[in-house]
Amino acid sequence: MFHIGYFKHTIAILQCICKRCARVMVMGDDRAAFLRKMRNPRTEVLQRAAQLKKLNEKCKRTKICPHCGEANGTRPHTSLSREKLGRLSPARDWVGSSSSESPADKARPSSSTRALLRALRDSM
């Protein structure tokens, strides 16, 4: 859950971070220059905001993480049909309706949940 007042800033931060290795999507000299400017105690608030905006723009343009090589950015949404996914009832599948099930059986995903995960993996 996100507070609506911080949503814009949260999105900006997430756009600057690699989804795989969680590092900032800037490498080498650019990273050092941004850090030096942001750590300077004499930098004004408006200058910091402008630097953060530049960093965000640079990170948004970076499509491949310079650290791990993973492709980043927005991913296309795919529509999955009901036939492909099967019956969906994750709340009942995870909790279980029978009291005779052991805790280990309740924690194990059901066949419909596994089918959903397989379908999502295959569609990407």
Chain segment 71-112, per-residue pLDDT in tens: 886 655 555 555 554 554 444 433 444 455 555 555 566 777
Q: Give residue 121's pLDDT band: very low, low, confident or very high (50, 70, 90).
A: confident
What pLDDT, on the 0 to 100 scale, is given for residue 81? Answer: 52
Which of residues 115 and 31 earns the better pLDDT score? 31
Neighbours of 16 (CB within 10 A): 19
Backbone torsions φ then ψ of 115, nearest 5 degrees:
-65, -40
Give the whole-angstrom CA distance, residue 24 versus residue 16: 6
Please state whether the predicted TM-score (pTM) of the whole model is above 0.85.
no
Say yes or no to pLDDT of 124 above 50: yes
User: Cβ(75)–Cβ(124) under 8 Å?
Assistant: yes
Instruction: Identify the residue whose tokens are 């999507």.
Output: 25
Give the whole-angstrom CA distance, residue 74 versus residue 113: 25
Give the whole-angstrom CA distance, residue 74 versus residue 57: 14
Q: Give residue 60's pLDDT band: very low, low, confident or very high (50, 70, 90).
A: confident
Any idea what the Cα angle at residue 99 is, between residues 95 and 103, rounded to 5°?
55
What pLDDT, on the 0 to 100 scale, is given for residue 69? Answer: 87
> Alpha-carbon torsion 52, 58, 59, 65, what sign?
negative
Q: Give residue 42's pLDDT band: very low, low, confident or very high (50, 70, 90).
A: very high
For 16-102, where are the alpha helices, taking DSSP H only? 28-39, 45-61, 82-85, 90-95
Partners of 17 in beta bridges: 24
Which of residues 42 and 111 earns the better pLDDT score? 42
| Residues composing the chain | 124
What pLDDT, on the 0 to 100 scale, is given for residue 91? Answer: 42
Say yes or no to pLDDT of 13 above 70: yes
Q: Give residue 2's pLDDT band: very low, low, confident or very high (50, 70, 90).
A: confident
